[in-house]
């Protein structure tokens, strides 16, 4: 199952290993480049599998990261997008990208 909010995609995946990074206020999964608006997933915690830098992912994109939505479910909110209800479970967070002949660049809305 896929849930998309602007330039971010949440992909439901099988249960992942990793340490839960407790975040009372939820996970900020992306910042806008100019506006400072943010995609915030309430009711979720990051899953630390290696040395992922979640803040850097939110700001700059990069390789996908994982998070776990609590049993009560989560809410993906953003200042300019409709809120999306996210069912419990583990998710892969993917930042939208764009092609250039020189490199792949991540997109910011």
Binding residues (CB under 8 A) for another protein: these are 1-6, 9, 11, 60, 64, 78, 80-84, 94, 96-102, 107
Strand, helix or coil for residue 51: coil
Shortest distance, position 27 Cβ to another protein, whole Å: 17
CA atoms lying within 13 Å on the CB side of residue 77: 9
The tokens of 49 are what?
Answer: 């599998």
Residue 21 vs 107, nearer CB to another protein = 107
| Gap between the terminal Cα atoms of the chain | 23
Residue 3 vs 31, nearer CB to another protein = 3
Residue 60 vs 70, nearer CB to another protein = 60
Shortest distance, position 22 Cβ to another protein, whole Å: 27
- With residue 88 as reference, give the H or E element that holds it: none
């Amino acid at each position: 199952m896929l849930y998309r909010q602007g330039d971010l995609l949440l992909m439901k995946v099988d249960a992942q290993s990793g340490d839960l990074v407790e975040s009372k206020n939820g996970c900020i999964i992306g910042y806008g480049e100019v506006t400072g608006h943010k995609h915030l997933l309430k009711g979720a915690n990051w899953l630390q599998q290696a040395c992922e830098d979640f803040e850097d992912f939110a700001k700059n994109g990069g390789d996908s990261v994982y998070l776990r939505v609590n049993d009560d479910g989560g809410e993906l909110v953003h200042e300019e997008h409709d809120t999306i209800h996210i069912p419990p479970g583990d998710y892969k967070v993917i930042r939208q990208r764009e092609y250039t002949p020189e490199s792949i660049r991540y997109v910011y809305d």
